[in-house]
Amino acid sequence: MTASLRKPGLDHGAPRPLRSLRLVSQQEGLLQIHTAPFRGSFGGVFSQALRTAGLGSRVLISQFLKGGVEQGLGHSLWLCGRLQWLRPDVPGCLEIPPASEQERQAVQEVWAFSREQLLAGSVELMVLDELGLAVELGYLEAADVSETLERRPSHLDVILTGPSMPPPLMAMADQVTQLRRGS
């Protein structure tokens, strides 16, 4: 005797109705956060950005508190012809609340350019390094940063990195990666 694998009561000979598929013309972008209790731990994020640029996408890396290379907007570094790497024009790395108006303005200049590129959707990937710490130290306004990230184009991937991330930014993230020091 052979057992039937068909469920009783179903018409197994009737054709199935076709489901309509919805094609998405653009991929949904993600807001990712990579955080750790220490600074300078995000080499993997920068490798990803370089790889993305090497594959033909436009990428912007903005480092808000790293200086010492006399960079600023006028001297940003270009890699692979598609990755723009930007740091404020300050003599060294910033670790305390703004000691001078020049430091504050240099960081705000990097934010203004990054904000413009983000809202225009000019890049496919944007890495905002130590953005949360720049907010915490008083270089940038938390409300402006949050509002700008909420208004980003839906296709744009944004990665925030750093040791400090304000709760409103954590709440809007699609993915959070927290690194820990090994013991």
User: 142-179, pLDDT tens digit by residue?
Assistant: 999 999 999 999 999 999 998 888 899 999 999 998 88
CATH no. for 31-178? 3.40.50.300
Read off the pLDDT of residues 71-90 as tens digits, 9 standing for 90 and up. 888 888 898 899 999 999 98
pTM: 0.81
C-alpha distance from residue 83 to each of 54, 55, 69, 101 (Å)? 8, 11, 18, 29
The secondary structure of 69-98, three-state, reads: CCCCHHHCEEECCCEEEECCCCCCCCCCCC
Alpha carbons 53 and 15: distance in angstroms, whole number: 47
Least confident range from 33-42, 57-66, 79-88, 117-126: namely 33-42
Q: Where are the domains of the chain?
A: 31-178
Residue 69 pLDDT greater than 80, yes or no = no
Instruction: Say how far apart CA 155 and CA 1 lie, in whole Å.
Output: 58
Alpha carbon separation from 166 to 32, 99, 121, 158 (Å, rounded): 14, 22, 24, 16
In the structure encoding, which two tokens stand for residue 74, read together? 């006028």
137 contacts 107 by C-beta, under 8 angstroms: no
Q: Could you give the CA distance from residue 104 to residue 33 in angstroms, rounded to a whole number?
A: 24
- 3-state SS class at 31: strand
pLDDT band at 36 (very low <50, low <70, confident <90, very high): confident
Q: Which residues contact 181 (CB under 8 A, 6 or more apart)?
A: 36, 37, 38
